[in-house]
Amino acid sequence: MSYSIFTPKERNIITLVLLLLLGAVIAYAVRGIIGALLGTMVMYTIFRPLNIWLVERLKWRRPLAAVCIIVISFLIIVLPFLGIGTMLTNKIVELVKNPEWIKNTVNTINEYAGDKLGKPDLLQEQLEKSASYFGGLLTSLVSGAAGLFLDIIVMYFLLYFIFINFRGFERGLLRYSPFRIENAIKFGHELRNITYSNVIGQTFIALVQGGALSLGFWIFGFDDALFWGVICAILAFVPLLGPPLIFVPAAIYAFTQEDNFAAIGLLVYGFVVVINIDNILRLIIAKKVGDIHPIITVVGVIIGIPLFGVMGLVYGPLLLSYFLITVRIYEANKKQLNLTDEELPSP
């Protein structure tokens, strides 16, 4: 009869080391679909109540409920993004076919800046300063859009199997969670609230701001009101900073055309109405489900776009918020552990 050369404790240590090594290999292998994994968690959080209602209240078969949710989410989330992408592509093609419009606009603004500010090459200088940064940003967005199709396929594949066994999935999360049960449940609630606030809340704010700016463009006689409203809705994911990137240059262009009424009107409308939409709606959403501080959103977007491409507008702030929640849960665990140690009798 042969005996192992390792003790049970040594075998456990070896097994743990193997698990860590295999986990590191798997994490490295799936680094390309990290956006799909994060998207799966976001979509599951958003549509979990609907899945429970269909399965446990209406008694639908789980595969049917999962397919129904996937179709609904595709119609209300994915198709609008495809439509926006088509609109942007058509506009870029239009500008490429008519480069004189861009050249004339640049020359007009430079002439205005030379007369009023004594800086005839103002716009040219600013374009040169920002070309490198925005070039890298555009590359990240395009590469993210190129990989978005694969992420969507992987995300829906994972969502289907999670939805048809959602109770087992949640029990597994609790079982292998490194937190206490009560902290894990609290962690889950905070994740849900943060996800609702950032995805649903921020999307709603962006749509309202985009619609408001589009209306402002129409009121003051600017061209392509719908297009610039859509661009504003995208940039509105960066709170306070996004919308002015649209209406301030438009107002400057109106000044160069000596349309002072439209320029001043758009500036007042933008700073009084469009900007404050974010402030008011953010307070309402904070009272209902929770809030993400604007600083976290801005920093999250900065780190999110290089990682996830265009979806970094949403995933970046979420990832940073999840990290901060995890830090708070760790501190709560440490505090409870210290209290437990203090209650133990001294030897």
Per-residue model confidence as pLDDT tens digits over 42-97: 888 888 889 999 998 898 999 999 999 999 988 887 777 777 767 766 766 666 66
C-alpha–C-alpha distance, residues 233 and 207, integer Å: 5
Highest mean pLDDT among 138-147, 177-186, 263-272: 263-272
For the chain, what percent of residues have pLDDT higher than 70? 70
What's the pLDDT score for residue 116? 52
Per-residue model confidence as pLDDT tens digits over 104-137: 655 665 555 555 555 445 555 544 444 444 445 5
Question: Which residues are within 8 A (CB) of 274 and not within 5 positions of it... i.e. 6 or more apart?
Answer: 209, 212, 213, 216, 232, 243, 247
Whether 193 has a pLDDT exceeding 70, the answer reads yes
What's the pLDDT score for residue 107? 61
Average pLDDT, the chain: 75
CA neighbor of 163 nearest in space, from 242, 251, 73:
73
C-alpha–C-alpha distance, residues 77 and 157, integer Å: 16
C-alpha–C-alpha distance, residues 282 and 292, integer Å: 9
Highest mean pLDDT among 12-16, 208-212, 252-256, 292-296: 208-212
Whether 287 has a pLDDT exceeding 90, the answer reads no
CA neighbor of 236 nearest in space, from 282, 284, 202:
202
